[in-house]
């Protein structure tokens, strides 16, 4: 494929230029809201200190006592769906209920002082992360701009095209680095200027220096955010889920089905009561889209608060050995109680146990150590993306990366403007626009390669595939029109 530089470089430049111009606003919004979300877990601890902290001293009361105190607050206003015992002294216990005016995967949490059973607060919480209203609002903006499924197309565009723009930019950076010429010292300085801003430059050259150097430094971080963000996307995320299932890369599912004799005995005295919570869309290591498509139906079991203590004690003899756990009553008379570790920081602890509420026999267990490697990597990737993996250092690194991506977008638009973009700043016109007609100059092998890559990418990333088709068609039409002119 001789003469590849005569068409591939211009094609990458053209793709990088137009993709950034069109998708830039979406990437900018996703980066800014993502930076806010990354630091939100730390902000929550300050904003909701009253609900999250317990002033009581002394040993914790039985969970049954704490649950009964919460039930007195809720009354008939909701069904009990989960309990999260206080993980450390000074923390509160969360007793979670269904409720009115809650979004999917959200529950009403009553915060209880474990030492005194005093009620410390009553707030909606979301998902396995237990996001409180501040973080939930930021998450909704980051994920869908608060527009539901229609808004999720914005985040899919941002996540999908961020990787394309970054890779195209990296290709251009490598080509420019190889073209650096001149005496030894001048060439070395030119190459250094591609990895650090050239503070001596002015105007467009200075903007380019910042754009290129920030971009190459953040390449790995931006690609990581793009790849992990795609798992939450509406269309590409479904493709990722199907691929992982086909390759057996999914985490094992806890079997909560009771033996026939146990379910028959439990069903004999059932009455309308609690049901399980809706699946959690944050738990993407098991299913990236669990909880996106429907809420759980009410269950048919009457929950004895005393069983929370008994079931937890059984699980602690099996594989539950962290304070961060969630205990769920059975969804129906044929299902077991579940105790699940929810510690998403390092080292990850997400083992789970299913317990028969009638006999207190262990029905099933899953252990993170036995998960397939790809399921573990998915778990770690999602938790790192959310800022929970390594705590505050992880959150600060995400903030820096997200703000760096936002800065790259701003630098790119400033460069476009100074070149006379949109026709509004002609007096600043310098440099050259991204050249058109690269595909016209490509040999047939190059065209086949471009089409093949486009098809493969489009199969897994529909928003990218559609955009690439539009890019090629529009660029070809523009080139043809200019040629005729």
pLDDT digits (tens, 9 = 90+) for 369-408: 999 999 999 899 999 999 989 989 999 999 999 999 999 9
Whether 233 has a pLDDT exceeding 80, the answer reads no
**Residue 200 three-state SS:** coil
Number of domains in the chain: 1
| pLDDT of the residue at 82 | 96
Residue 177 belongs to some domain of the structure: yes
Whether residue 99 lies inside any domain: the answer is no
CA 127 – CA 290 distance, rounded (Å): 11
Mean per-residue pLDDT, 309-323: 94
Q: Is residue 291 part of a domain?
A: no
CA distance 363 to 413: 58
pLDDT band at 433 (very low <50, low <70, confident <90, very high): low
Tell me: the pLDDT tens digits for 130-164? 999 999 999 999 988 878 778 888 888 888 889 88
* pTM listed for this prediction: 0.80
For residue 12, the enclosing domain spans: 4-39+146-229+390-484
Residue from 259, 255, 359 nearest 314 by CA: 359
388: how many CB neighbours lie within 10 A of its CB?
22
428/441 Cα distance (integer angstroms): 30
For residues 173-178, give the mean pLDDT: 76
> Would you say residue 181 lies in a domain?
yes
For residue 202, being part of any structural domain is answered with: yes
Higher pLDDT, 116 or 104: 116
Q: Which two tokens stand for residue 32?
A: 């800014």
Of the ranges 109-113, 140-144, 331-335, 419-423, which one carries the lowest mean pLDDT score?
A: 419-423
Q: Do the domain assignments include residue 286?
A: no
Residues 6+ apart with CB under 8 A from 377: none
| Beta-strand pair 325-328/352-355 | unpaired
Q: Which residue has the higher pLDDT, 235 or 383?
A: 383
Q: Are 1 and 446 in contact (CB under 8 A)?
A: yes
Secondary element (H or E) of residue 84: strand 80-84
Segment 44-69 shows an average pLDDT of 93
The pLDDT of residue 288 = 37
Per-residue confidence at 296, pLDDT binned at 50, 70, 90? Answer: very low
59 versus 261: the higher-pLDDT residue is 59
Domain membership flag for residue 140: no
């Amino acid at each position: 494929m001789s003469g590849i530089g005569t068409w591939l470089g211009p094609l990458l430049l053209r793709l990088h230029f137009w993709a950034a111009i069109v998708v830039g606003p979406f990437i900018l919004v996703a980066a800014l809201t993502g930076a806010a979300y990354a630091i939100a877990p730390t902000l929550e601890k300050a904003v909701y200190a009253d609900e999250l902290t317990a002033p009581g001293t002394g040993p914790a009361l039985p969970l049954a006592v704490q649950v009964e105190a919460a039930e007195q607050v809720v009354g008939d206003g909701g069904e009990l769906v989960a309990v999260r015992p206080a993980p450390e002294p000074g923390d509160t216990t969360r007793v979670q209920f269904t409720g009115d005016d809650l979004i999917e995967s959200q529950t009403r949490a009553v915060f209880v002082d474990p030492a005194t059973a005093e009620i410390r607060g009553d707030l909606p919480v979301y998902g396995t992360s237990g996001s409180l209203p501040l973080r939930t609002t930021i998450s909704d903006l980051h994920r869908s701009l608060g527009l539901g499924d229609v808004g999720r197309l914005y985040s899919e565009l941002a996540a999908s095209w961020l990787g394309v723009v970054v890779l195209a930019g990296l290709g251009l950076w490598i080509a420019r680095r190889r073209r650096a010429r001149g005496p030894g010292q001048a060439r070395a300085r030119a190459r250094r200027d591609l990895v650090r801003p050239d503070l001596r430059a002015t105007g467009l050259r200075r903007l380019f220096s910042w754009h290129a150097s920030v971009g190459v430094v953040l390449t790995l971080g931006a690609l990581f955010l793009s790849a992990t963000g795609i798992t939450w996307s509406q269309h590409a995320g479904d493709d990722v889920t199907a691929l992982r299932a086909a390759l057996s890369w999914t985490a094992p599912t806890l079997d909560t089905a009771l033996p026939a004799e146990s379910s028959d005995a439990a069903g004999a005295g059932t009455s309308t009561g609690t049901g399980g919570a809706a699946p959690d869309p944050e738990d993407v290591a098991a299913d990236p889209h669990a909880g996106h498509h429907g809420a759980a139906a009410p269950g048919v079991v009457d929950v004895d608060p005393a069983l929370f203590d008994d079931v937890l004690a059984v699980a602690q003899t099996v594989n539950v050995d962290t304070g961060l756990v969630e205990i769920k009553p059975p969804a129906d008379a044929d299902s077991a109680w579940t105790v699940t570790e929810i510690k998403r920081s390092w080292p990850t602890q997400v083992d789970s146990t299913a317990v028969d509420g009638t006999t207190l026999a262990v029905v099933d267990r899953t252990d993170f150590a036995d998960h397939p490697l790809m399921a573990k990597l998915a778990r770690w990737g999602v938790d790192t993306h959310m800022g929970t993996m390594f705590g505050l250092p992880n959150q600060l690194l995400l903030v820096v990366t997200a703000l760096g991506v936002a800065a790259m977008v701003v630098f790119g638009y400033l460069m476009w403007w100074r070149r006379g973009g949109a026709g509004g700043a002609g007096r600043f016109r310098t440099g050259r626009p991204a050249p058109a007609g690269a595909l016209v100059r490509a040999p047939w092998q190059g065209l086949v390669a471009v089409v093949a890559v486009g098809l493969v990418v489009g199969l897994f990333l529909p928003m990218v595939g559609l955009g690439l088709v539009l890019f090629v068609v529009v660029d070809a039409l523009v080139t043809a029109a200019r040629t005729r002119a």
